[in-house]
A and B are shown apart, each in its own frame.
Chain A
Amino acid sequence: MSAVVTEHDDHHDHGPEKGILRWLFTTNHKDIGTLYLVFALAMFFVGGTMAMIIRAELFQPGMQLVEPQFFNSMTTMHALVMVFGAVMPAFVGFANWMIPMMIGAPDMALPRMNNMSFWLLVAGVLILASTLFMEGGAPASGWTLYPPLVLQTGNALPFAVFSVHLLGISSIMGAINIIATIFNMRAPGMTLMKMPLFVWTWLITAFLLIAVMPVFAGAVTMLLTDGFFDTSFFDAAGGGDPVLYQHIFWFFGHPEVYIMILPTFGVASTIIPVFARKPLFGYSAMVVATVAIAFLSFIVWSHHMFTVGMPKAGELYFMYATMLIAIPTGVKIFNWTATMWKGAMTFETPMLFSIAFVVLFTLGGFTGLMMALSPLDYQYHDTYFIVAHFHYTLVPASIFMIQAGAYYWLPKWTGHMYDERLGRLHFWLSAISVNILFFPQHFLGLAGMPRRIPDYAVQFADWNMISSIGAFIYGGSQLLFLYIVIKTIKQGTGEKVSDEVWEDAKKHGLEWTLPSPVPYHTFTTPPKIIPTEHI
């Protein structure tokens, strides 16, 4: 017994262990945050490579590079890898790094489970990736895994299902940890309505995760039993219904897209006030809007299924409910704009990405509103218009803010400044190319080009070529991001960064009161002073 106590008493004096074992066995929130972020970055390039294959095939009409089956595997795997391997883990990485430091906690509430969350994620994604090399190829039914199509998958089917299970367990554990940390580990005086908005958005995101990941697990379990154990959940001959799967999937899927966007909002709400040198406008309205968006996300799922054959009352209800989301989202856009209004703004790389996010996410939001209109959705459904829409909400929103967050926090984490000139170059290359990449897809979709096909009519050739050129520039410029990140971690620009890194950042959050680079253990005793700038 005494050994345990002794280990406990002096563990604060220990630095990290040496070698690979440090990463395998770590319980430190900063280590685990780093693991998540590095893994997410790696998967960003894996998923990105798949996107490049897709755009290369679509560069010209006709079949050039890959087999149609493999093309469909690429669209499916690109989506799954980006959603579950890149975007979600990157935000969990931020959450691990920042939430304890933002609320004055010594670590996450359940450190051992934190370790397990990460390694389960790796196991899940590796199993998913291994399906690429299996007989019958990787799943090729789209990331929604709709039956009956998905049941025609070869050997990959049970692996894909179990991979979803592992990813689900990982996400639920991570979410439970975040909720317990936020509710139980705040420093004295850090009341809920004093928490930084990043912490708030993650709290809500964690609720969404716990509520919907089991639903996805249940849905794929039914796919498995339909495929291997003679059940009839999605088979009309036995009294089931393939549409049932769509309902269950989108009951998970719609909150899932907010799981990827709410932390994005959180990072934006953290960065914009610092570079506008003003407190965040409408803090409590931002909190309420986040809660409202999360609530609405549970009651709008069938807007993904307007063309499936629903009773008219259903079409109308889901149309109106979906349009309601524009209100809390509008509140957020307005508040970010109002935060910048008459601010003493400077345009460092994180701020550039944030401003681009506000503008381009608004665009993605508006196309969402267009598709919320059920009668119009009959035109847009399953075309490149929807592809353009959700990529605007994911790439110049989620990915931009992940990269903004990396630029913003890397100096705090590493003690090194990134190269501002290269950062801005990366921003301008990304911001311009992402529009060349996705904006023409609106036109393609409106003209009727369907999504998830390797070939298309010649009338779509010009815009596809432009889109592909944008894709290659965008993909290439992310290598610059990789270079900047590695360089920053190694030595940065060489100049010593101050504790607050950004001018007056101390007013905006506890994390800036800590030294740069951050020590291995922080806030082993709770901090006394709580900044109130953002209220």
Chain B
Amino acid sequence: MSAKDAYYIPQKATWPILATVGLAVTLIGFANYLNGSSIGPILMVLGLLIFIGMLAGWFTLQATESESGTYNTQVGISYRMGMMWFIFSEIMFFAVFFGSLWYTRNLSVPWLGGEGAGPGRETQEFLWSSFQATWPSNGPGEVGGDFEPMGTWGLPFLNTLILLSSGVTCTWAHHGLLSKNRDQLIKGLMVTVGLGFLFVSLQALEYYEAYHELGLTLGSGIYGSTFFMLTGFHGAHVCVGAIMLSTVLFRSWKGHFTPENHFVFEAAAWYWHFVDVVWLGLFVFVYML
């Protein structure tokens, strides 16, 4: 049976166990750091180095195998299913934080303000009788002190335009790949990656302003908590997506991918559109409403 017909099953895998070690050491280090142990940061750096080395090694292996024609169509379908369901799990992860934002805005803060006939009224009466439920709120304890909420139409709107444009350039690059236009593929990817990192930089600028001018921090009650957790996790995902697209760019530049065989491009593009859509949700529910 030729390699093309058979489903590729590697005989052994050395990278996964290294991935496990890298992840575990990083997290053990982080936990030690949180507990104030001096060994924490060292372990974290060590774990991250192992993890990054593993990623490079594992992806190089996959790229080599892919380019040598080891994977048939059926293997490609498995990879696509894997990516699809991974993105679904990410959606559920973000759903937790969107759900928390909804819950606090519509239930817990109004209840603290005395809305409804249930337990909220008594809590308000006996504990926080002067608290008015409004949004943004840092709660009846005014946790974190005075702050101003983040505006909508400055940097966030600019970032919306940037991320949406990068979705367009990503698709443009994909068309270049499909029509064997290498120049369009590489230019499209370069612009996409550039816009991605520009987005992250502006997000960092926004955080700087929040901390230094608005008094808005992660500790600014429930508004600060939801704002920074949602935008922070999104920003982290944009970074991951941009790194994925950078490796795709590198491989395109090396001459990898054909119109028929470019799973990694598709996976990175799906992921990119996913962070795009999450951002639209953020823009509406965190910044606008």
Chain A positions near chain B (C-beta within 8 angstroms)? 1-2, 4-5, 7-9, 11, 14, 17, 21, 24-27, 105-107, 109-113, 115-116, 119-120, 122-123, 127, 155, 158-159, 161-162, 165-166, 169, 172, 175-177, 179-181, 183-185, 210-215, 217-219, 221-222, 224-225, 228-233, 235-241, 243-244, 247-248, 309-311, 524-525
- Chain A residues touching B, majority SS: helix
Q: Which of A5, A166, A176, A228 contacts B85 (CB 8 A)?
A: A176
- Assess whether B222 is interfacial by the CB under 8 Å rule: yes
Q: A107-B9, A115-B16, A231-B224 are in contact. Are A159 and B31 (CB under 8 A)?
A: yes
Q: Which of B6, B78, B100 contacts A233 (CB 8 A)?
A: B100
- Measured CA separation A185–B143 after assembly (Å): 54
A-B contact pairs, 23 of them (CB 8 A): A5-B68, A11-B9, A25-B12, A25-B14, A27-B10, A27-B12, A106-B7, A110-B79, A115-B13, A119-B16, A158-B30, A184-B74, A215-B95, A224-B34, A228-B34, A231-B224, A232-B139, A237-B143, A239-B104, A239-B138, A239-B143, A239-B221, A310-B118
Q: A11-B11, A26-B12 are in contact. Are A248 and B99 (CB under 8 A)?
A: yes
Q: Check B107–A241 contact: CB distance below 8 A.
A: yes
Nearest Cβ on chain A to B36's Cβ, whole angstroms = 9
A-chain residues with CB within 8 Å of residue B108 when the two chains form the complex? 236, 239-241, 243-244
Q: Check A214–B31 contact: CB distance below 8 A.
A: no
Q: A7-B11, A158-B31 are in contact. Are A184 and B92 (CB under 8 A)?
A: no
**Nearest-neighbor residue (CB-CB) of B123 within chain A:** A236
Nearest Cβ on chain B to A293's Cβ, whole angstroms = 19
Q: Check A8–B16 contact: CB distance below 8 A.
A: no
Q: Check B17–A24 contact: CB distance below 8 A.
A: yes
Nearest Cβ on chain B to A24's Cβ, whole angstroms = 5
Can you list the 9 inter-chain pairs with the closest CB atoms, starting with the nearest? A237-B141, A218-B96, A239-B139, A230-B219, A239-B222, A116-B16, A241-B108, A238-B143, A1-B68
- Measured CA separation A154–B108 after assembly (Å): 28
Q: Check B78–A232 contact: CB distance below 8 A.
A: no
Q: A123-B20, A232-B139, A238-B221 are in contact. Are A110 and B82 (CB under 8 A)?
A: yes
A-chain residues with CB within 8 Å of residue B139 when the two chains form the complex? 232, 235-240
- Assess whether B130 is interfacial by the CB under 8 Å rule: no
B-chain residues with CB within 8 Å of residue A215 when the two chains form the complex? 92-93, 95-96
B-chain residues with CB within 8 Å of residue A524 when the two chains form the complex? 6
- Assess whether B8 is interfacial by the CB under 8 Å rule: yes
- Assess whether B229 is interfacial by the CB under 8 Å rule: yes
Q: Check A230–B218 contact: CB distance below 8 A.
A: yes
Q: Which of A4, A109, A155, A225 contacts B218 (CB 8 A)?
A: A225
